[in-house]
Amino acid sequence: MAGALLVAGTTSDAGKSVVVAGLCRMLARRGVRVAPFKAQNMSNNSVVTLDGGEIGRAQALQAQACGLEPSVRFNPVLLKPGSDRRSQLVVRGKAIGTVGARDYFRHRRDLREIVAAELDSLRTEFDVVICEGAGSPAEINLRATDLANMGLARAARLPVLVVGDIDRGGVLAHLFGTVAVLEPEDQQLISGFVVNKFRGDVELLRPGLDQLTELTGRPTLGVIPYAEDLWIDAEDSLGTVADAPVGRPRPPIGDTWLTVAAIRLPRISNSTDVEALACEPGVAVRWVSDPSRLTDADLVVLPGSKATVSDLEWLRRTGIADALRTRAAAGRPILGICGGYQMLGTRIIDRVESAAGTVDGLGLLDLEIEFADPKVLRRSIGSGNGIPLHGYEIHHGRVVGNGDPAWFELNGSPEGSARAAIWGTHLHGLLESDEFRRRWLREVAERAGRHGFVVADDISVSEIRSSQLDLLADLIENHLDIKGIERLLTDGAPSDLPAIVSGLGIGSTPLG
Domains of the chain: 3-39+62-71+107-219+481-491 (3.40.50.300), 240-460 (3.40.50.880)
Q: Residue 20: enclosing H or E segment and its boundaries? A: helix 16-29
- Of 230, 197, 228, 264, residue with least CA distance to 44: 264
The CA-CA-CA angle for residues 37, 34, 389, to 5°, reads 75
**In this predicted model, what pLDDT tens digit does every residue of 136-180 receive, in sequence order?**
999 998 888 899 999 999 999 999 999 999 998 899 999 999 999
- Of 467, 379, 430, 392, residue with least CA distance to 65: 467
How many residues would you count in the chain?
Answer: 512
* Inter-CA distances, 413 with 91, 381, 416, Å: 31, 12, 10
Q: What is the pTM of this model?
A: 0.92
As a whole number of angstroms, the distance between CA 223 and CA 193 comes to: 9
CA max distance for the chain = 70
As a whole number of angstroms, the distance between CA 462 and CA 468 comes to: 10
Percent of the chain with pLDDT over 70: 96
As a whole number of angstroms, the distance between CA 421 and CA 363 comes to: 14
**In this predicted model, what pLDDT tens digit does every residue of 411-446 receive, in sequence order?**
889 999 999 999 999 999 999 999 999 999 999 999
Active-site residue, from 338, 390, 426, 479: 338
Q: Is 451 a catalytic residue?
A: no
**In this predicted model, what pLDDT tens digit does every residue of 181-200 receive, in sequence order?**
999 999 999 999 999 999 99
pLDDT in the model for residue 502: 55
Name which of 44-48, 222-226, 469-473, 497-501 the model is least confident about. Answer: 497-501
Q: End-to-end distance of the chain based on CA atoms, in angstroms?
A: 33
52 against 260, higher pLDDT: 260
Q: Is the dihedral of CA 285, 290, 296, 297 positive or negative?
A: positive
Contact present, 16 and 133 (Cβ < 8 Å): yes
**In this predicted model, what pLDDT tens digit does every residue of 472-498 receive, in sequence order?**
999 999 999 999 999 999 999 999 899
* Inter-CA distances, 263 with 82, 88, 186, 304, 363, Å: 18, 23, 42, 10, 18
**In this predicted model, what pLDDT tens digit does every residue of 9-62 receive, in sequence order?**
999 889 999 999 999 999 999 999 999 999 999 999 999 999 899 999 999 999
3-state helix, strand, coil in the chain (%, to 5): 35, 30, 35
Contact present, 128 and 33 (Cβ < 8 Å): yes
As a whole number of angstroms, the distance between CA 408 and CA 406 comes to: 5
**In this predicted model, what pLDDT tens digit does every residue of 78-126 receive, in sequence order?**
999 888 788 999 999 999 988 887 777 778 889 999 999 999 999 999 9
* Inter-CA distances, 368 with 79, 326, 355, Å: 28, 21, 17
Q: Is 24 a catalytic residue?
A: no
Q: Residue 191: enclosing H or E segment and its boundaries? A: strand 190-198
Task: Say if residue 236's pLDDT is above 70.
Answer: no
Contact present, 87 and 42 (Cβ < 8 Å): yes
